[in-house]
Structure 1
Amino acid sequence: MKQTNWFERKFDFSTIQHTFPSILERLIGTPARIEEKLNGINPAFYTLKPDNKWAILEHIGHLSDLETLWQVRLQDLLQGKEELSPTDLNNTRTHQGQHYLKKPEVITQQFRELRAQTVSQLEALTEEQIYLSALHPRLKTPMRTIDLFVFVAEHDDHHLASISAMNRMFLSQPKQI
């Protein structure tokens, strides 16, 4: 099954559900899920770039690259800014980061540390702060703190699913690798 491209995804943040603890669990679990996923993939696949797209290690490096954006956007919300800080839609940091040349344990540890910082900030929020809102610059829709981190968890899962799809493809086409 083909996954929708990230920039084509639509998000609806119109409901109020008290699911922040569940969202935190997803965010906390992503580093372990990445490490578990890598343990199940042939290391020879980590640096392969099918169709000149990102390698598995680049997907993981990308999550680290964006973690600081999530932290900045959280601060935007807490500071009452009207609009969240924009991202580099070209993903320059990831393209130039050469994550495919790095050791997997370095990339995963960096992500683990950055995500722990984010989670620590989130665990300190009050219920009022969870529902602060600002305009998302690309989606042009209001996004509350809780919505932002649903978005982050979905982004994590998007890249984990991409890694799984790549692994399945590599396994099904061993002669082309």
Structure 2
Amino acid sequence: MDALAKLGIDGWGIFLYLVNFGVLLFVLQRFAYKPLRLYLDQRREQIKENIEEAESLRATLEAEREREVIDRREREAHLQARLLEAKRIMKEEAKSLLTDAVSRRDVILTQAGEQAQRLTEGALQEAEEETIKRIRQVVLHVLGDSLSEDVVKESVRESWKHVTGTSSYGQ
């Protein structure tokens, strides 16, 4: 202890240093370390809860994304099916319209042909009647009243049959 005394350290000073250190340690433990440890524990627990919540949100978000992807694929498949159905209906309608147009065209062509045939026959009949009438007038004019009109008519009809092979005059 003499060596310590030469250095200026005595037993009473060391005791006071130890008591001082103990009081400081007690005060720090009571007012600083304990509240600080409590705060750090609370903060650690809060961070842990936040991480768990973030993991839960991430899992929920991933599940929601997967559902959205599945829903989008289902909507696309549904739209594709509707598009194919619309195309099929359009083809059927186009085919139906084409069939209707062809049948209408055929009816119109048939009617036009029949009308043309009637007009042609009417014009031929009219021309034939006019020709026979003119021939009869010429024959009556040339022969005068020496033959009866019925005889001339019959003679013209026979001549016309011989020339055309048919007769519609006088029937």
Shorter-chain TM band: under 0.3
If you compute each CA radius of gyration, which structure gives the higher value, 1 or 2? 2
Q: Normalized against structure 1, the TM-score is what?
A: 0.22
Q: Normalized against structure 2, the TM-score is what?
A: 0.23
Higher strand share: 1
Higher helix share: 2
